[in-house]
Amino acid sequence: MASVSLPRRKNLSTQQALALLQEMDEADSDGGEVSFVQQATDTSSEESEKETEQEPNMPPRKRPRGTGKPSQSHTAKDGTVCVEEDIGMPSAVANCSSFTAQAGPTKFAKRKITSVLQSFLCLLDVGMLQTIRKCTVHQARRTEPDWNLSVHELMAFISILFVRAIMCPVGAIVDCWSERFLVPVIKETMPRDRFISIMQHLRFDDKDTRAERVKTDKCAAISDIWTRFNENCAKSFTPGEHMTIDEQLFPTKVRCPFTQYIATKSGKFGIKFWMATDLDTKYVCSASPYLGKDPSCQKGERLAENVVMKLMEPFLDDGRNVTTDNFFTSPSLSHRLLQRKTTLLGTVNKVRRELQLARMYSVRAATHRWPVAVFYNMLDLAAVNAYILYKACTGWTGKRRLFLSLLAQELRCRFMQHKDILAQRQVAEAAVPGTVKTTQCQVQESCNRNRSRFTCATCKKFTCAKCRDDGHWVCKRCKV
């Protein structure tokens, strides 16, 4: 009799096994009764074959993305419902608002930026420079009544900081005037003692009223200048659809009531800044120093949420998405942003590349005053933003180091022109006798320390009537 052999290494479904057993001869059976009970949960034969073809020791097959798997949800202790969705599937929340703003430089910036200097002055404007000049002069005249400073000289002072950043960032600033580490451009711009004098008196607010303002503002020594810098950053550039918020530690060991220690950062010690940046261009849209615990915050309010909402305030209601790390991410923050047509994407901690641009060619230098350290960071951020604005408005494709070199050159240009005019005027006044105070004769060829108010047209030394040539106002030394 013919016998039916079962296929090896293949598990059969219930229906297939029943059909084969019915075809078997009695001689092939052991005489026992065989019964099958088909459960209601059995699937079709085709699906059973697919599921049973896998080896018993093989891991389960991965479900492909976007297979329509039902969303799983769970409720947190505070009542928040979290829904798990497949990667790549469209989200109804993400599509509830679309980006409506026009990213890039604003009309104000496009109209104003015609040179490298103008891109920088969009951020650190002339009004801010005049305020710094006024506060610096006020501080200096406490001890030196005749001390003065012009806006152009202040710009030349800033240019020296940028030149040092790209030429000799290591070492003390005063080394740039030394014979071994001399930077000719810096020496031509300003004498070393004048630079040190400006640095010693550099101020950003009125010290007479600081004691009252510091009661409500820990950053009162520079908060006015910093606020105006933030306003100029927002006024000059419109960020794109995607923005990021993270922290920056400006390395400094200056004594400050809000100095931070972060072991994971390269500098360890410094002043921490919260920053909102444009993801595509790395433009710093808004920044704020961390001043410690805010006494005005109500009990239960999270610091991270307040930081994000404060930085994003000028850029809400336009359908943007903001990316944060796990320090800022929370369901309550996502709800607050969603009410302002802004979505939130939370990530793990990562070192963001856009915050590293200010590390290269930094004007940072040793200082004992924390407002100067904050001013250094503001100059670095202004230089980064000016570089981005200038490229976007003019189509320039040069390197950032070249941009900083051109910026330093244009910053000191007006001061150098004024300096040349004064030098020519002094030469003209020396050639023609003028009404100046009398002083001792510096030639003393034919006199015994006579007094004189005229200088030699050649050597510029004060020369009395006995020691000069009869025909021209030239001393007898120069005549020979």
| 272 against 57, higher pLDDT | 272
**Which pLDDT belongs to residue 42?**
47
Given a cut of 90, whether residue 136 has pLDDT beyond it is yes
Per-position b or e across 19-32, b if 16+ CB within 10 A of its CB: eeeeeeeeeeeeee
Rounded CA separation 290/307 (Å) = 9
Q: What structural domains and CATH numbers belong to the chain?
A: 125-203 (no CATH), 237-351 (3.30.420), 439-478 (no CATH)
Q: Of 253-257, 355-359, 386-390, 436-440, give the range with the top mean pLDDT.
A: 386-390
Rounded CA separation 279/295 (Å) = 32
> Where would I find the beta strands (DSSP E) of 92-210?
104-105
Rounded CA separation 236/281 (Å) = 14
Q: Of 156-160, 344-348, 424-428, give the range with the top mean pLDDT.
A: 156-160
CB 228 within 8 A of CB 266: no
Rounded CA separation 330/78 (Å) = 12
Q: 455 has which bridge partners?
A: 462
**Alpha carbon 80 to chain centroid distance?**
35
**Alpha carbon 246 to chain centroid distance?**
10
Residue % of the chain over a pLDDT of 70: 72
> Angle at the Cα of 440 (from 437 to 446), degrees rounded to 5?
130
Across the range 15-36, mean pLDDT stands at 57
Across the range 155-163, mean pLDDT stands at 95
Rounded CA separation 137/132 (Å) = 9
> Where would I find the beta strands (DSSP E) of 175-298?
237-238, 242-251, 260-261, 269-278, 284-289
Q: How confident is the model at residue 423 (pLDDT cuts 50, 70, 90)?
A: confident
Closest CA to 311 of 233, 240, 215: 233
**Which pLDDT belongs to residue 246?**
85
pLDDT in tens, 335-377: 889 999 998 888 644 444 445 766 788 888 888 899 999 999 9
pLDDT in tens, 56-108: 455 555 555 545 555 566 666 666 666 666 655 555 555 455 888 889 999 99
Backbone angles phi, psi at 368, to 5 degrees: -100, 0
**Which pLDDT belongs to residue 253?**
81
pLDDT in tens, 437-449: 678 888 888 888 8
Q: How confident is the model at residue 49 (pLDDT cuts 50, 70, 90)?
A: very low
Structure tokens at 141: 């005249």
Please tell me the pTM assigned to this model: 0.71
Q: 83 has which bridge partners?
A: 73
CB 467 within 8 A of CB 444: yes
Mean pLDDT is lowest, of 36-50, 225-239, 262-276, 350-364, for: 36-50
